[in-house]
């Protein structure tokens, strides 16, 4: 124990002597929480639309007016030339072209049906998919309004109607910031914990101080604990800063307990720091450690469910998700902050994270070689 205390004193002195680490710990959470929640918005707006109206009837004008008043579309061109609209799409000035045929109103009145043509710029697949879905929904809504206007209502309408009232649980207003900020906090803790621990041992290898430690009778697990505990404390401190900023900037108050968040975060940091220490034992320079840690973090973050649902991923990707600690923490953060889940509700996640922590830290201790 005495050995460990001396090692911790040395590590804390090294950390607080380096102003770059202090800046990373204090400034990174502020920048990430100020910028990312505003940029990571699932809702697509300002979709640039060109309308080729060959009909110029009241119905076509009403349809265009309904689309532009929805707030999702920005009308950048309104004309009667399909070639001109396609030229704008090739110049990336238009995302969707809506072509209204010349007999639109007549077909609608006489034949009870009319067709429209959509051309979608699919270079940005997400924007194209959501934009065309928005447009189809607005057109269907317009179609329903026209039908209701034509029907001569008797006492009871002959048209069957199914009303589907819905309510949003745990996030009543579908505020995406309440959904994104917990995930961004996880990324924040992961980046600080994994990168700093991965670079720490490698830095000592580069400057040669690790050779002085290797010739001492310090046990390997003492050495690893001395590297792990300071960043474990700093990681929890960074999480506290993040939760405080989330409250003051976005008004996010966890529906569950702070104790639940910090208990799971403590286990999670043991696993992530173990991964960082494992990376440092297999690398000899800070560049190697940074690149390897960055490679692993990119995979974990992209497969963590922050930006896309893990349920919609292929089967092989869902298998990777099961061994991805980031995915478990993101799920737990959303469960606790939005649903108010307790420690009992996340017991499975805690057992998995405990297993990750034991395996990764044991592996890091076994793979570390003391060489003078």
Which residues of the chain are modeled with pLDDT < 50?
155-156
> DSSP for 202-242?
HHHHHHTHHHHHHTS---HHHHHHHHHHHHHHHHHHHHHHH
Q: Which two tokens stand for residue 342?
A: 């307790």
pLDDT at residue number 124:
76
Residue 104: exposed, middle, or buried by beta-carbon count in 10 A (0-12, 13-18, 19+)?
A: buried
What the chain holds in terms of domains, given with CATH numbers, is 25-41+175-367 (no CATH), 47-150 (3.40.1710.10)
Q: Which two tokens stand for residue 283?
A: 């690398």
Selection from 49, 130, 134, 152 nearest residue 96 by Cα: 49
């Amino acid at each position: 124990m005495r050995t460990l205390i001396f090692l911790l004193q040395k590590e804390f002195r090294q950390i607080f002597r380096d102003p770059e680490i202090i800046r990373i710990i204090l400034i990174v959470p502020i920048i990430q929480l100020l910028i990312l929640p505003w940029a990571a918005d699932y809702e697509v707006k300002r979709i640039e639309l060109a309308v080729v109206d060959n009909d110029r009837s009241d119905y076509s004008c009403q349809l265009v007016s309904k689309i532009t008043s929805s707030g999702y579309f920005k009308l950048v061109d309104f004309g009667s030339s399909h070639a001109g609209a396609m030229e704008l799409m090739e110049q990336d000035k238009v995302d969707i072209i809506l072509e209204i045929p010349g007999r639109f109103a007549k077909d609608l009145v006489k034949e009870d049906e009319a067709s429209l043509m959509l051309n979608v710029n699919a270079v940005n697949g997400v924007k194209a998919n959501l934009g065309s879905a928005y447009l189809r929904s607005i057109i269907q809504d317009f179609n329903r309004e026209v039908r209701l206007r034509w029907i001569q209502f008797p006492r009871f309408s002959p048209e069957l109607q199914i009303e589907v009232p819905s309510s949003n649980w745990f996030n009543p207003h579908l505020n995406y910031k309440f959904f994104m900020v917990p995930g961004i906090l996880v990324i924040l803790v992961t980046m600080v914990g994994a990168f700093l621990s991965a670079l720490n041992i490698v830095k000592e290898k580069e400057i040669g101080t690790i050779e002085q430690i290797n010739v001492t009778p310090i046990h390997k697990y003492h050495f690893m604990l001395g590297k792990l505990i300071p960043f474990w404390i700093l990681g929890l401190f960074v999480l506290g800063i993040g939760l405080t900023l989330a409250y003051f900037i976005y008004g996010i108050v966890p529906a569950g307990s702070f104790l639940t968040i910090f208990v799971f975060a403590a286990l999670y940091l043991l696993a992530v720091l173990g991964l960082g220490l494992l990376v440092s034992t297999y690398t000899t320079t800070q560049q190697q450690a940074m690149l390897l840690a960055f490679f692993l973090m990119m995979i974990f973050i992209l497969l963590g469910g922050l930006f896309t649902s893990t349920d919609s991923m292929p089967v092989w990707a869902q298998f990777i998700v099961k061994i991805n600690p980031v995915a478990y923490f993101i799920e737990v953060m959303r469960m606790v902050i939005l649903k108010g889940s307790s420690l009992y509700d996340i017991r499975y996640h805690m057992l998995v994270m405990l297993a990750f922590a034991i395996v990764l830290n044991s592996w890091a201790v076994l793979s570390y070689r003391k060489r003078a």
